[in-house]
Amino acid sequence: MMKVQSNRGFTLLELMITVAIIGILAAVAYPSYLESVASGRRTDAQANLVALAQHMERHFTETANYNTAVLPYTESPRDGADKFYDLVVTASTATTYTLQATRKNGMVGDRCGNMTVNNIGQKVAGQADCW
């Protein structure tokens, strides 16, 4: 009596379909993932700008001017080795200031551009939905 062996496995066509489906899912998911990472980095820079604006207001309360203020930190994020924004005072007088987050490293090509906040709380970014 002969035993018939049944071959169990995947055909080449089934493997090609699976690879194609994975490729389509990756093509849709990867850009979304990158935007999510960039959004998190932007949010951290925005939080740092707001914190530095509070620092500037405290300095003004103590000295009655902004132009002698020194920022306690100049990069975002504050922790970690990778930095994605430089934080600077771009314009300062006795009664006004503008803080700017300038993109660098992995955020250089970000669609939102550099972000600013000034002494009256006006927040500006490259696109309206970025702040």
| Per-residue pLDDT tens digits for 51-60 | 999 999 999 9
Cβ-based neighbour number of residue 115 at 10 Å: 23
Give the pLDDT confidence score for residue 53 in this predicted structure: 96
Residues 28-39: tens digit of each pLDDT? 999 999 999 999
> By C-alpha distance, which of 50, 45, 125, 101 is closest to 78?
45
- Coil, helix or strand for 90? strand
The pTM score is 0.80
Phi, psi of 94 (to 5 degrees): -65, -30
Give the torsion sign (CA, 22, 27, 32, 37). positive
In angstroms, what CA-CA distances link 7 with 4, 11, 12, 19, 121?
A: 10, 11, 14, 22, 71
| Beta strand ranges found along 1-131 (DSSP E) | 75-76, 85-92, 97-103, 115-118, 123-124
Q: What is the pLDDT of residues 59-110, one digit of tens each?
A: 999 999 998 999 999 999 998 889 999 999 998 899 999 999 999 999 999 9
**Token pair for 130:** 């970025």
Lowest-confidence segment of 2-11, 16-25, 38-47 by average pLDDT: 2-11
Measuring CA to CA, how many Å separate 110 from each of 11, 31, 123, 125?
43, 13, 17, 11
